[in-house]
Amino acid sequence: MKLLEGKTAIITGAARGIGKAVAIRFAQEGCNIAFTDLAIDEIFMATEEEIAAYGVKVKGYASNAALFEDTHNVVNQILNDFNRVDILVNNAGITRDSLVVRMSEQQWDAVININLKSAFNFIHALIPAMMKQRNGNIINMSSIVGVHGNAGQANYSASKAGMIGLTKSVARELGSRGIRANAIAPGFIITEMTHKISDEKRAEWEMQIPMKRGGTPEDVSNTALFLASDLSSYVTGQVIQVDGGLNT
């Protein structure tokens, strides 16, 4: 029996990177996948095909997760298409790095809206259905910089710290309704986003990591699988750091 056999997950920002890795890992364990990203493009379509190869139902949706009304509309569409949703992974995120003194209001608002408000939007839209079925599982993608901060990333750090507070509050509010909420705080994970970092900076980061390597999207997706499955049935309100010991 596969760990997520017959379940359905919504994964936001899943056309690439960590979100895609989570979608594929869930599909390998029998989970039907509804994933969202900002626009339908070649990468989006290729991800949909790759997930479908595991024999599960999959459908991608173009959605701006930062918009409250758009999110409610896409969640209603997903519920109509899949009948129910068991798991929500709030993964959509961007960076707009800058020192606070130079950061524009637009840079601040864009990161907070896409990284943090989007999670509220999806949780708000999906909670009534999860409460009705008295079962649900919410996984919010935070970051270790949401735990300890990072120079040049005040907006990103604030959004990811907000994800932790949101996770713990939702866990307290909805635990009695059979709904769990946990967060994952990845460290230095090698993705398209981190490829922009110079080799020198990457080597500097890796020297600070006790395991002496960057993580992979699969390192994060395996943790997400644990939290999404019944293996973690008594785990809620927690933040699991997947960082190779960087924030030990």
Active site residues: 156
Please answer whether residues 26 and 4 qualify as being in contact, where contact means their C-beta atoms are separated by less than 8 angstroms.
yes
